[in-house]
């Protein structure tokens, strides 16, 4: 059943634009498209809406400036290209936004910044301060220092995490493709555009391909990952083609452009961080009774249902909770260390003090600090 697109009340929007939409195949920046996008965002800003821009393109711009024929495979050279390109990219955004009287602020993030709860809250506070001051945050991954262990992997997922970080109302993913199709339109002429999505199915994931260009890292698969994350957060996502005339304005006006992904739930901010922002430090395996108590009754995890512990986590770390079939059923913030959980597994709460010599909590993971697998 079709749902009416009504974004008239959207007050805070995150717009993400990819490298393929900002850079020509020659490697030079697409200034016309950048200026067109900035004009639309500046107009939203003038309407009193809060706008955050997540932009790719630093590496692509740097690749051309450094005279590389293609994106380097070598990590240090890729980071060098990012260092050169980020300054150039930000300069162009500052220039375009300034023409419309809008101030911008550069924000560079890594996965590690959002995985640490204190740094996550600092990033959130900074974003809110920028918006309160009327500044448009221009956000990118900090590719000059990010390595594989802390990379977001693409700016689609970064955009979704930022949208969750600031409690956005809408996320718009701008790409070189018009939306989600039932097959890859680059290879199948009969591929049909999907107008709206309420559930991301395995068939949709199978149809998603890899990166679209040599300058980008994302593809349809990463856009589906980002959309699923936003759906879980309770946010609406629209995937549309960046080159479409006045695409942002028309999306906000409710026109049927691209594909809209409707929310499937509403996680509070802390649980968004547990589910998607924090790094998992270990696994706790539980029996069938504990799994049912968590999934069906909304209970906390007690020691009596724990069968096995994996990893070397500390109190306050995030852990995966694994059901008896080996599938993750939840993740949450643990109240005891791995060694302590291993010692009290299978025991009643009344035995915790006898075994450990202290008992700060009855629960190994409290339900308020737990997110069930979506």
Domain shared by 227 and 243, yes or no: yes
Q: What is the pLDDT averaged over residues 26-47?
A: 92
* Residue 2 forms part of a structural domain: no
* Residue 92 forms part of a structural domain: yes
* Residue 5 forms part of a structural domain: no
Domain shared by 227 and 341, yes or no: no
Domain shared by 290 and 346, yes or no: yes
* Residue 206 forms part of a structural domain: yes
Q: Any known ligand binding at 21?
A: no
Inform me whether the pLDDT recorded for 2 exceeds 60. Answer: no
* Domain housing 307: 279-372
Q: Any known ligand binding at 349?
A: no
Q: Any known ligand binding at 217?
A: yes
Domain shared by 243 and 293, yes or no: no
Q: Any known ligand binding at 218?
A: yes
> Where is the domain boundary, 210, 245, 271?
271
Inform me whether the pLDDT recorded for 45 exceeds 50. Answer: yes
* Residue 3 forms part of a structural domain: no
Q: What is the pLDDT averaged over residues 90-116?
A: 92
Domain shared by 76 and 186, yes or no: yes
- In Å, how far are 37, 53, 94, 170, 265 from 41, measured between CA atoms? 6, 8, 13, 14, 28
> Where is the domain boundary, 271, 293, 312?
271
Inform me whether the pLDDT recorded for 212 exceeds 70. Answer: no
* pLDDT tens string 241-273: 999 999 999 999 999 999 999 988 777 778 888
Q: Any known ligand binding at 176?
A: yes
Q: Any known ligand binding at 104?
A: no
Domain CATH number, residue 313: 2.30.130.10
* Residue 4 forms part of a structural domain: no
Q: Any known ligand binding at 101?
A: no
Domain shared by 200 and 112, yes or no: yes
Domain shared by 36 and 125, yes or no: yes
Inform me whether the pLDDT recorded for 360 exceeds 90. Answer: no
* Residue 285 forms part of a structural domain: yes
Q: 319-332 burial string, b = 16+ CB within 10 Å, else e? A: bbbbbeeeeebbbb
Number of domains in the chain: 2
Domain shared by 265 and 287, yes or no: no
User: Who wins on pLDDT, 318 or 202?
Assistant: 318
Adjacent-strand bridge partners of 308: 285
Domain shared by 132 and 247, yes or no: yes
- The fraction of the chain above a pLDDT of 70, given in percent, is 94
Domain shared by 199 and 90, yes or no: yes
Domain shared by 186 and 319, yes or no: no
* Residue 81 forms part of a structural domain: yes
Q: Any known ligand binding at 323?
A: no
Could you tell me which of 41, 48, 51, 77 has the C-alpha nearest to residue 62?
Answer: 77
> Where is the domain boundary, 239, 271, 303?
271
Q: Any known ligand binding at 219?
A: yes
Inform me whether the pLDDT recorded for 76 exceeds 80. Answer: yes
Task: Report the distance separating Cα 334 and Cα 318, nearest Å.
Answer: 6
* pLDDT tens string 165-211: 999 999 999 998 889 988 777 777 788 899 999 988 888 877 775 44
Inform me whether the pLDDT recorded for 21 exceeds 70. Answer: yes
Domain CATH number, residue 155: 3.40.1160.10
Domain shared by 215 and 353, yes or no: no
Residue 348's φ and ψ, nearest 5 degrees, are -80, 155
**pLDDT for position 195:** 92
């Amino acid at each position: 059943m079709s749902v009416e697109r009504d974004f008239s009340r959207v007050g805070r929007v995150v717009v993400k634009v990819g490298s393929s939409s900002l850079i020509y195949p020659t490697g030079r920046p697409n200034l016309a498209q950048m200026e067109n996008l900035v004009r639309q965002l500046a107009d939203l800003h003038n309407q009193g809406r809060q706008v955050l821009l997540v932009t790719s393109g630093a590496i692509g711009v740097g690749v051309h400036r450094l005279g590389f024929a293609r994106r380097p495979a070598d990590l240090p050279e890729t980071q060098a290209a990012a260092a050169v390109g980020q300054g150039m990219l930000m300069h162009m955004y500052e220039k375009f936004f300034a023409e419309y009287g809008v101030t911008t602020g550069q924000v560079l993030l890594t996965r590690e910044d959002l995985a640490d709860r204190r740094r996550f809250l600092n990033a959130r506070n900074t974003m809110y301060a920028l918006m309160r001051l009327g500044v448009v945050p221009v956000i990118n991954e900090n590719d000059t220092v990010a390595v594989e262990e802390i990379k977001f992997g693409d700016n689609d997922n970064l955009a979704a995490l930022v949208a969750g970080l600031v409690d956005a109302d809408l996320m718009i993913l701008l790409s070189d493709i018009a939306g989600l199709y039932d097959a890859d339109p680059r290879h199948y002429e009969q591929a049909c555009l999907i107008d709206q999505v309420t559930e991301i199915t395995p068939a949709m994931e199978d149809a998603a391909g890899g990166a679209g260009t040599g300058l980008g890292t994302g593809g349809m698969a990463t856009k589906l990952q980002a959309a699923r994350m936003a759906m879980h957060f309770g946010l609406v996502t629209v995937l549309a083609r960046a080159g479409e005339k006045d695409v942002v304005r028309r999306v906000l006006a409710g026109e049927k452009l691209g594909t809209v992904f409707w929310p499937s739930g509403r996680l509070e901010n802390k649980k968004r961080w547990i589910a998607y922002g924090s790094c998992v430090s270990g696994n706790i395996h539980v029996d069938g009774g504990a799994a049912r108590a968590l999934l069906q009754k909304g209970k906390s995890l007690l020691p009596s249902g724990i069968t096995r512990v994996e990893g070397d986590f500390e109190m306050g770390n995030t852990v995966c909770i694994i059901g008896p079939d080996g599938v993750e059923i939840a993740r949450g913030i643990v109240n005891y260390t791995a060694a302590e959980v291993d010692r009290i597994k299978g025991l009643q709460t009344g035995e915790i003090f006898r075994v450990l010599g202290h008992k700060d909590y009855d629960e190994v993971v409290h339900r308020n600090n737990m997110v069930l697998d979506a």
